[in-house]
Structure 1
Amino acid sequence: MLVKTFGSAVSGVDAYTITIEVNVSQGIRFHLVGLPDNAVKESQQRIESALKISNYKWPGHKIVINMAPADIRKEGSSYDLPLAIGVLAASTQIDDSLLANYIIMGELSLDGSLQPVKGVLPMAIKAKEEGFKGCILPIQNAKEAAVVGGLQVYGFENISEVIGFLDGQSDAEPIQLNTEEEFSKGIQTVDFDFSDVKGQESVKRALEIAAAGGHNLIMIGPPGAGKSMLAKRLASILPPLSLDEALETTKIHSVAGKTNSKNSLITQRPFRSPHHTISDAGLIGGGSFPQPGEISLAHNGVLFLDELPEFKRTVLEVMRQPLEDRNINISRARFSIDYPASFMLVASMNPCPCGYFNHPEKQCVCSPGVVQKYLSRISGPLLDRIDLHIEVVPVPFNKLAETPPSEKSIEVRERVVNARKLQNERFASNEKVHCNAQMTGRMLAKYATPDENGMAILKTAMERLDLSARAYDRILKVSRTIADLEDSVSIQSHHVAEAVQYRSLDRSGWGA
């Protein structure tokens, strides 16, 4: 008897449907075709054990299973459940009338219990697009799939419960989840707050500007000055995620296996901080079994690179294209996939190997030329994509001992949100540009031209500070953001003057 069940596979952050055809006929051999990998081929042993413990039997006949489309490689153990259900239905041990209505996915343990799988959210989205009635999944994945409205999602703990549902012997109810309520419940939660930071008002101002315009930022300062502490609080002042952004972000984390029943929908902007020993593939994604990298996991959020010069040069250079295009394309001999990568880059670094160059109290012990050599580990093209350079100095004791609390993140976020609203209106006609940091040269001429005094200040700064040509566009973009924070239509001289201060590493002789 020939029976079809339906599963799903993930490519990039999107899913496609897999049709599993099971034919049980006269004979004694078992054939599994359709480019399965070793994990799929090993499913026979897991299925046999699970069926035996669940009081069902593996058919003593010839079994041929085809996983279509047959030219696409099937990977992982998540096909155990649809394969097992297909074998039972084809051997007439269970009813097959409901199989065409559901996407079925799950890994089987030897005792028949179901283990969670990756990529459930894109699978559920695809199931809805293709008109399936619902999904049958492990209980741990059900809440995540239920984020997709208009789809019946059933979560089960073992294969016996699945069989009971398909045979009509179970009164299982689909998982109910109010997506908007789940989204609004977690959107205002803040793990780190700006009010925890004493002093560092100039750095807080730079972070506010970065958040308001979507600008990349680098902080340079000695150890213990508070660079990491400040970076962790940047996500708390970014505009809240929209529901579409939350779904897009959750899809990426679902594919990477970073979601669970407690965080079925990501409502906070991601903050990723990889260690400096990370590999190229770990940062941008890929590998033998393609997975999103850190830059994709930071999509719609912040990627923080602590001690930037300590990262391998090749790892840093692979970020140049994603920083411009806001997506990453991974091309290999067997596949080509795209991952979104629209993130804010925040980096920190010591000014020299010992960490105390330009320190107000401690003496730098580095030999001549070592400081410049240390800074040169960061290439010009990468530095060119960082809009704000801010020097962080240690907080004096009298500031640390102050009891009055600093401004809270929610107060700063209000100003950032108002500035982003102006930018959304300004760039409403261009789908690829959402904030000032993404402006093209033509847009700069249209939206970011300073007044006469502002242009004079910019000209003087370029000449006296020996700023590089690449700093010109960056200063204009930051000036436009500072003006937006003040709700100013035009860019005035004090906006340009403040923006010039954030180009420390472009100054001739810095660190020489």
Structure 2
Amino acid sequence: MPHAKSWSVALVGIDGRVVEIEADLGGGLSRVTLVGLPDAGLREAKDRVRSAVRNSGQPWPDGKITLALSPANLPKMGSGYDLGIAAAVLAATGAVPATKLFHTILLGELALDGRIRPVRGVLPGLLAARAAGHERAIVPAESLYEAALVDGLEVAGASRLADLVAWLKDEGELVAPPPPAVPAAEPAPDLADVVGQPEARWAVEVAAAGGHHLLLTGPPGVGKTLLAQRLPGLLPDLSPEESLQVTAIHSVDGSLSRSSPLVTVPPFVAPHHSITTAALIGGGTGLAAPGAISRAHRGVLFLDEACEYGSQKLDSLRTVLEEGEVRISRAKGVVRYPARFQLVLATNPCPCAPPREADCTCSVTARRRYLARLSGPLLDRVDLRVRLRPLTAISAHRTITPETSAIVRERVLAARDRARHRWQPHGWRINSEVPGPVLRRDFPLPASTTAVLDRALDRGLLTARGADRCLRIAWTLTDLAGLPTPDGDQVTAALNFRERTAA
């Protein structure tokens, strides 16, 4: 019986696995059987592919057609297998030679008239294909801007199924990938725009230098959002490895830019407080799609009006903040998405939030109930907590020129460089990534230096996790000061950052 193969890629999160597509032609009644755990969208592929093949001027075989997608126990979802299915069927019928299909990855959805539509996840799919040893990939022409980011793989595009058929017959050429797009440098918001708030500006600098999480509390209009928006401009650009990982997440999410697909700067994600838990963490039908926390990977997740999100959504971040990835379990499997971001929370001190605290009409119970939405376990994972005060006079700041983001960024990069050289033998890059036990065991500080932490622990003002985070902040303050090791001043300053409550 006629038999042929082609290859495509299945995505589980941002991890891809090469899928072998087999087409077997047999006798009997005319029908198409698709096996290999297809979802509803993939089961409809047999109808799309049949119409696309016929409308491209190619014969569709009579009799029974069995299509098998292997590994058979791996759930297959989406319409990206259409092009591979069509190629396997045409090769089985002898309409096209199967020579070029060997070691070629095919990705694309087929329209009924034979057009090839773009699909999500081209970049992570091709990265998986390259890792599996495949040499060539054919993708929708509209996805070439994304496929061109993968080095070491021959990439070409096709607009219609007829173009692929002509190429397989050596009767035509496919579309070559465009030259790499140079990302347009968009000016980042400048820290000089923020009037006053020296303590909050210093906290943002410390957060940028050490990768620490930050809580900003204060009445409306004092600059909480302005400060959060300027944090990404203080962070270093992404490394090539980080850029590909962040771009792969955005590819699966379908939010890549055609003009500059490669994400080279830390992303800034600021969802509205009405977002659902699934949209924040990740979810959806079948295997889960990435959420806002994964789109913020290697960047900043800003939750404005944090108390309005609700305890359930906020507490769902607790494990993610510790582990740097989110694991979402479904009946069809477990999906892992990276989610190592800097969390910035901004909240008003009470529901009525007047410009002046003296004008507050909320009862003590109402204020406590409002701030209690930020649970203790969540706040214990937030390193820096700052209270912003209302401005008393704008005129007082007219003669003072605030530092620009460029000046602050130089100090941040210098501090990160010191931290990277210190932690590089251990595999860490910034202070916030260093486990507390390592700090206490391999980089111990004198008892006189940590005495203030011991007293806070003895009085129950600090948890063991909080003490470890104070040590990380102290090392960041040390790097910003250009000192070799923290002393009592840095440890005390670190504890002060954590003792500033939102109340």
TM-score by structure 1 length? 0.90
1:295 shift after superposition: 1.6
1:366 alignment partner in structure 2: 362
> 2: CA distance between counterparts of 1:478 and 1:400?
32
- How far 1:366 sits from its partner (Å)? 0.4
Matches of 1:263 and 1:74, distance apart in 2: 30
Report the CA distance shift for 1:440/1:70 in structure 2 as closer, same or farther (over 3 A): closer
User: SS of 1:259's equivalent?
Assistant: coil
Q: Which amino acid aligns with 2:23?
A: V
2:163 matches 1:165: no
Q: Which residue in 2 is equivalent to 1:85? A: 87
Deviation readout 1:468-500 (Å, 9 max, x if unpaired): 345443333222211110111132344344334
Q: Which residue of 1 aligns with 2:250?
A: 253
> Which amino acid in 1 is paired with 2:370?
Y
Q: Is the 8 A contact 1:309 1:377 kept in 2?
A: yes
For residues 433-448 of structure 1, the aligned pairs below 5 Å read 433-445=428-440, 446-447=442-443
The AA in structure 1 aligned to 2:329 is S
Alignment check: 8 A CA contact 1:33 1:70 kept:
yes
- What number of residue pairs does the alignment pair up? 498
The 8 Å contact of residues 218 and 390 in structure 1, kept in 2 or not, is answered as: yes
| Inter-partner Cα distance in structure 1 for 2:446 and 2:371 | 32
The whole-number CA distance in structure 1 between the counterparts of 2:52 and 2:405 is: 52
| Alpha carbons 1:12, 1:291 under 8 Å: kept | yes
Say whether the 8 Å CA contact 2:183–2:259 is kept in structure 1. no
CA contact (8 A) 1:195 1:409 kept: yes
Residue 215 of structure 1 corresponds to which residue in structure 2?
212
Q: Distance in 2 between matches of 1:43 and 1:260?
A: 28
| 2:224 match | 227
1:389 corresponding residue in structure 2: 385
Distance in 2 separating the partners of 1:318 and 1:360: 33
Aligned pairs for 1:127-276 (under 5 A) are: 127-172=129-174, 174-175=176-177, 177-178=179-180, 185-186=182-183, 189-276=186-273
The one of 477, 481, 485 aligned to 2:476: 481
CA distance in 2, matches of 1:61, 1:439: 63
Q: CA RMSD in A?
A: 2.6
Question: Deviation at 1:331?
Answer: 2.6
- Whichever residue aligns with residue 344 of structure 2, its letter is V
Give the AA of the match of 1:324. E
Deviation at 1:212, TM superposition (A): 0.5
- Select which of 271, 284, 288 maps to 1:287: 284
Deviation of 1:209 after TM superposition, in Å, equals 0.1
Gaps in structure 1 of 5+ consecutive residues: none
Equivalent-residue separation in structure 2 for 1:435 and 1:345 (angstroms): 15
Return the alpha-carbon distance in structure 1 between the equivalents of residues 284 and 487 of structure 2.
49
Give the CA deviation at 1:21. 0.7
SS of equivalent residue, structure 2 residue 425: coil
2:115–2:160 Cα contact (<8 Å) kept: yes
Distance 1:262 1:54 in 2: 31
Asked if residue 18 in structure 1 is aligned to residue 19 in structure 2, the reply is: yes
Question: Contact (CA 8 Å) 1:187, 1:268: kept in 2 or not?
Answer: no
Which segment drifts farther, 49-58 or 103-112?
Answer: 49-58
Q: CA deviation at 1:281?
A: 2.4
Equivalent residue, structure 2, for 1:72: 74
Q: 1:422: how far off? A: 1.2
Distance 1:472 1:86 in 2: 60
Q: In structure 2, do the counterparts of structure 1 residues 112 and 405 end up closer, same or farther at CA, with 3 Å as the change threshold?
A: farther
Contact persistence 2:184–2:260 (CA under 8 A)? no
Task: Tell me, yes or no, if structure 1 residue 348 matches structure 2 residue 349.
Answer: no
Q: Residues 225, 311 of structure 1: CA spacing in aligned structure 2 closer, same or farther, 3 A cutoff?
A: same
d(CA) in 2 for partners of 1:361 and 1:346?
23
Superposed displacement of residue 360, structure 1:
4.4
Q: Which residue of 2 aligns with 1:47?
A: 49
Question: One-letter code of the match for 2:293?
Answer: I
Instruction: List per-residue Cα deviations over 1:270-298 (Å, max 9, x = no partner).
Output: 11112223333222223323212222221
Runs of 4+ aligned residues of structure 1 deviating over 6 Å after TM superposition are 459-464
Choose which of 394, 397, 403 in structure 2 pairs with 1:398.
394
Provide the rounded CA distance (Å) in 1 between the counterparts of 2:332 and 2:262. Answer: 32
The residue aligned with 2:5 is 4
Q: CA, structure 1 residues 424+164, in 2 after alignment: closer, same or farther (shift >3 Å)? A: same
**Given the alignment of the two structures, is residue 416 of structure 1 paired with residue 409 of structure 2, yes or no?**
no
Q: Distance in 2 between matches of 1:325 and 1:455?
A: 26
| SS in structure 2 of the partner of residue 295 of structure 1 | helix
* Other structure's SS at 2:102 match: helix
Shift of residue 406 of structure 1? 3.4
1:334 match: 332
Contact 2:456 2:462 in 1 (8 A): no
Give 1:442 shift: 3.2
Amino acid at match of 1:468: L
Residue 251 of structure 1 aligns to a residue whose secondary structure is: helix
Shift of 1:380: 0.9
Give the equivalent residue in structure 2 for 1:278: 275
State how far apart, in whole Å, the 1-side matches of 2:396 and 2:279 are: 38
Whether contact under 8 Å (2:22, 2:88) holds in the other structure is yes
Counterpart contact for 1:448–1:480, Cα < 8 Å: no
Task: Name the CA distance, whole Å, in 2 between partners of 1:403 and 1:50.
Answer: 70
Q: Could you say which residue in structure 2 is the equivalent of 1:106? A: 108
Structure 1 vs Structure 2: percent identity of aligned residues?
Answer: 39
Stretch of structure 1 that moved more, 396-405 or 58-67? 396-405
Conservation of the 8 A alpha-carbon contact between 1:451 and 1:490: no
- In the alignment, the residues of structure 1 paired with residue 432 and residue 72 of structure 2 have an alpha-carbon distance, to the nearest angstrom, of 45
Seen in structure 2, the aligned counterparts of structure 1 residues 14 and 463 have a Cα distance that, compared at 3 Å, is closer
Q: Secondary structure of the equivalent of 2:424?
A: coil
- Cα shift at 1:451: 8.4
Does the Cα contact within 8 Å between 1:277 and 1:312 map onto a contact in 2?
Answer: no
Question: 1:381 corresponds to which letter in structure 2?
Answer: P
Report the 3-state secondary structure (helix = DSSP H, G, I; strand = E; otherwise coil) of the residue aligned with 1:6. Answer: strand
Deviation at 1:349, TM superposition (A): 0.5
Measure how far apart 1:404 and its partner are.
6.9
- The 3-state SS of whatever aligns with 2:202 is helix
Once residues 137 and 172 of structure 2 are traced to their aligned partners in structure 1, the CA distance between those partners, rounded to angstroms, is 16
Query: Which residue, 310, 313, 317 being the options, matches 2:311?
Result: 313
Residue 177 of structure 1 deviates from its aligned partner by 4.4
Letter in 2 for 1:417: L
Q: Does structure 1 conserve the Cα–Cα contact (< 8 Å) formed by 2:326 and 2:336?
A: yes
Task: Return 5+ residue gaps in structure 2 as ranges.
Answer: none
Q: Deviations over 1:183-236 (max 9, x none)?
A: xx4396443222332332321111010010111100001112221121111111
> Structure 2: which amino acid aligns with 1:279?
T
The 8 Å contact of residues 48 and 57 in structure 1, kept in 2 or not, is answered as no
Distance 2:132 2:396 in 1: 59
Go from structure 1 to structure 2 and tell me whether the alpha carbon gap of 1:263 and 1:399 turns closer, same or farther (over 3 Å shift). Answer: farther
What letter is aligned with 1:274?
P
Relative to structure 2, which stretch is displaced further, 409-418 or 238-247?
A: 409-418
Cα pair distance change 1:193/1:110, threshold 3 Å: farther
3-state SS of the aligned residue for 1:40? helix
Is the Cα contact below 8 Å between 1:351 and 1:371 reproduced in 2? yes
